[in-house]
Amino acid sequence: MSLFIDVKYLHEVSSRLPLFKRKGEYLYNCRCIICGDSQTKKNKARGYFYRGGNDLFYKCHNCDASQHFGTFLKNLDPDIYRSYALERYSNGENGRAHAEPEFKFDTPTFEHVTPSNILDLMLPNVSTLPNDHEVVQFLKNRRIPEYQFNKLYFIDDIKKIESVHSKYVGTIQTHEPRLVIPFRNLTCNLVGFSCRGLRNETLRYITVRLNDKDPLIFGIDTLDYKRPMFAVEGPLDSLFLPNCIAVGGTGFNKLDNLFLSKDLLTVILDNQPRNTEVCKVYRKMISDGYKIFIWPDYIQSKDINDFVIRVGSQMDQNKLVNIINENTYSGLTAQLKFNEWKKV
């Protein structure tokens, strides 16, 4: 009942919270009224209300304010807060309110956090970080489109991922910052995430699985099945193409259970004609009737991101899609083009 009352009063004052919107089950977002949020980007909203047990809590990723919803409401509007406290703490017998408990913010345990919002509670979204931030500069150097930054997160200490699940405790020995790439399922619930190194770490990716049922496919939660689709290996490559998913490596067998239209889907593997595993996947995808992008000889880049970096500002999404469409084949033609391309 207390959670219901928290949500009720949050909605009552929501009109006074800039850019307020619901982000998920018991997860709400707004510009922080405590610090004023970003002063340079008025569309940034880094304040979050989220569930912790039977309560709502507030957390700002800009000023690090952390407090129970009751404390937040008391500071916002003492009059409304009095009604809230009376309703929430009434003993229901004589109409007198219990003494108000002292609100203390505790870091929420993840058993109280829904899979859809765990990253929003743990980590800042890259789109909220300043231009000179390490991860922002990393993405800009790789020419990742800025409008895609809101799909990515940042963790300042990789050791923190041990708190997500008990099975990871003691498995991380380093403390470096990383880019966090989320994997969600068709119902938008988080099923895992990959932490990409920023400083030429020996272990470039550290991947965390939250369950063993769902395949890790980046972008599947936003895929439009009725439009032309692309499937690539790496999540960062997928950010350059419209309506694109990434299977994470050469695991294109994940596509078999998605029942995607082979007429609308184009499969793009990395440009590794001497890689036996890549060539094996090419043969299978062609045999299974998929449309395949065959890298033309004039492109020597190893993948889409590498190609965009080399070409620079001359390359935009429309040009990239045109190059892919002009070199996409299926059936016997795909087999012939593949035989010309492969080196093994």
Task: Quick: pLDDT tens for 152-195.
Answer: 999 999 888 877 766 667 777 788 999 999 999 888 888 889 99
Sheet arrangement for strand 229-232: 244-246, 229-232, 265-267, 291-293, 328-329
Question: To the nearest 5 percent, what fractions of the chain are helix, strand and coil?
Answer: 35, 20, 45
Q: Are 158 and 178 in contact (CB under 8 A)?
A: yes
- DSSP labels, 276-304: HHHHHHHHHHHHTT-EEE---TT---SSH
For residue 96, pLDDT beyond 70: no
Query: Is there a common fold for 123-209 and 220-341?
Result: no
What residues have CB less than 8 Å from 282, skipping those under 6 apart?
269, 292, 338, 342
What integer pLDDT is reported at residue 113 of this predicted model? 45
What integer pLDDT is reported at residue 117 of this predicted model? 65
For residue 70, the 8-state DSSP code is H
Say how far apart CA 39 and CA 155 lie, in whole Å: 23
For residue 142, pLDDT beyond 70: yes
Map out the domains of the chain as residue ranges: 2-112, 123-209, 220-341
For residue 106, pLDDT beyond 60: no
CA dihedral 9, 15, 21, 24 (to 10 degrees): 10
Average pLDDT, the chain: 86
Q: Are 180 and 155 in contact (CB under 8 A)?
A: yes
Of the listed ranges 64-68, 159-163, 198-202, the least confidently predicted one is: 159-163
Q: Are 153 and 63 in contact (CB under 8 A)?
A: no
What residues have CB less than 8 Å from 288, skipping those under 6 apart?
256
* pLDDT tens column, 5-42: 899 899 989 999 999 998 887 889 999 998 888 878 88
Q: Are 110 and 118 in contact (CB under 8 A)?
A: yes
Let me know if 269 is exposed, middle or buried by CB neighbors in 10 A (0-12, 13-18, 19+).
Answer: buried
Average pLDDT over residues 198-212: 84
Q: Which residue has the higher pLDDT, 32 or 113?
A: 32
Say how far apart CA 326 and CA 61 lie, in whole Å: 44
Specify which residues 230 forms β-bridges with.
244, 266
Mapped onto helix, strand or coil, the DSSP state of residue 184 is: strand
Q: What fold does the segment set 123-209 form as a domain?
A: DNA primase DNAg catalytic core, N-terminal domain (3.90.980)
Average pLDDT over residues 94-121: 45
Average pLDDT over residues 199-212: 83
Handedness of CA 33, 38, 42, 48 (dihedral sign): negative
Mapped onto helix, strand or coil, the DSSP state of residue 229 is: strand
Query: And the tokens for 145?
Result: 């489109």
Say how far apart CA 289 and CA 309 lie, in whole Å: 31
H-type helices in 160-243, by residue range? 235-238
Q: Which residue has the tokens 């099923």?
A: 191
Q: Are 249 and 215 in contact (CB under 8 A)?
A: no
Query: And the tokens for 161?
Result: 């991922």
CATH code given to domain 220-341: 3.40.1360.10
